[in-house]
Amino acid sequence: MTVLHLADEGEAADLAAFLSRLLHYDRGAAVRIQAAGTALAVFGRPPSFEVLAIRAVRLAEPAEDRSAEDGPAVALDVTVSAGELLESVDEPASTAAVPAAVTGPPWAGVLPPRGGWRPEPGLPAPDALRAAVGAAVAEFRSRTQELAPQQRTRAEVDRIGREIWSRTIGDTGLPVRVVHAAQSLGFLRPEGDDPALFASGAWLRLRTPYGSVAVRRVGREALGVSVR
């Protein structure tokens, strides 16, 4: 079994917090984990938001897949149960044991590119981003509560949600649901550096000091696919 040696107890706690938040939205959540050198990237997809959440974790030593029997050990890249990974996190020891691989959901095969990210202008200040999310939440609640009982169907509620959360932030092209996901997953906090927006091919990525949220753009710009 591969054991990840995290840089310190704080990194272990951050990993556990991220996994806990994913499991809040999906008790059967899976995550794809990739290690390169002393960096570990954990990818998840909370179903309520239709985005990819990425948490980067520092390792004390490079991770290797010690299950390889022939040839040199290879870098770790596996999809596992988020719940089982969470159970294996030992915060005082700053370790986590990698569970057995699972059959990955479709999203796990299509990840944002590793490189080629360029800064995108026009992202509002953090307070404005939080205000946009608050306004969207209030509008969603108001519009769904105003529906007559016979109109309050899952299809109609989902339609209202898609309309609201697909709106973009200013001229950035970033859907409001990305910011909502960042806030709900603990990535958008009052403290720390301001978030930044990046683009690579068909992808947009909202990056904060605590994690990133990525989404594929639609329309003419959504041309590239990164399958790994």
Does residue 61 lie in a domain region?
A: yes
Domain termination residue (choose one: 109, 127, 146): 109
192 and 134 in a common domain:
yes
- What residues contact residue 183 under an 8 Å CB cut-off, 6+ apart? 129, 130, 133
Final residue belonging to a domain, choices 56, 91, 109: 109
Which CATH number fits the domain that encloses residue 25? 3.10.150
Residue 92 domain boundaries: 3-109
Tens of pLDDT, residue by residue over 179-193, are 999 999 999 988 777
Q: Residue 228 has what pLDDT?
A: 39
Residues of the chain with pLDDT under 50: 68, 70-74, 220-228
Q: In terms of residues, how long is the chain?
A: 228
224 in any annotated domain = no
Alpha-carbon span 228 to 224, nearest angstrom: 13
Per the structure, the count of domains in the chain is 2
Structure letter (DSSP) for residue 195? P
Do 8 and 91 sit in the same domain of this protein? yes
Domain termination site, one of 50, 75, 109? 109
Note whether 23 and 105 are same-domain residues.
yes
| Residue 225 pLDDT | 36
CA dist., res. 33 & res. 135, Å (int): 34
Q: What pLDDT does 125 receive? A: 92
**In angstroms, rounded to a whole number, what is the distance separating the alpha carbons of residues 52 and 212?**
8
- Check whether residue 189 and residue 139 sit in a common domain: yes
Do 129 and 162 lie in one domain? The reply is yes
Do 156 and 81 share a domain, yes or no? no
Q: Please, is 107 exposed, middle or buried when counting C-beta atoms within 10 Å of its C-beta (0-12, 13-18, 19+)?
A: middle
Per-residue model confidence (pLDDT) at position 92: 96
Question: What is the predicted pLDDT for the residue at 44?
Answer: 97
Q: What is the pLDDT of residue 190?
A: 82
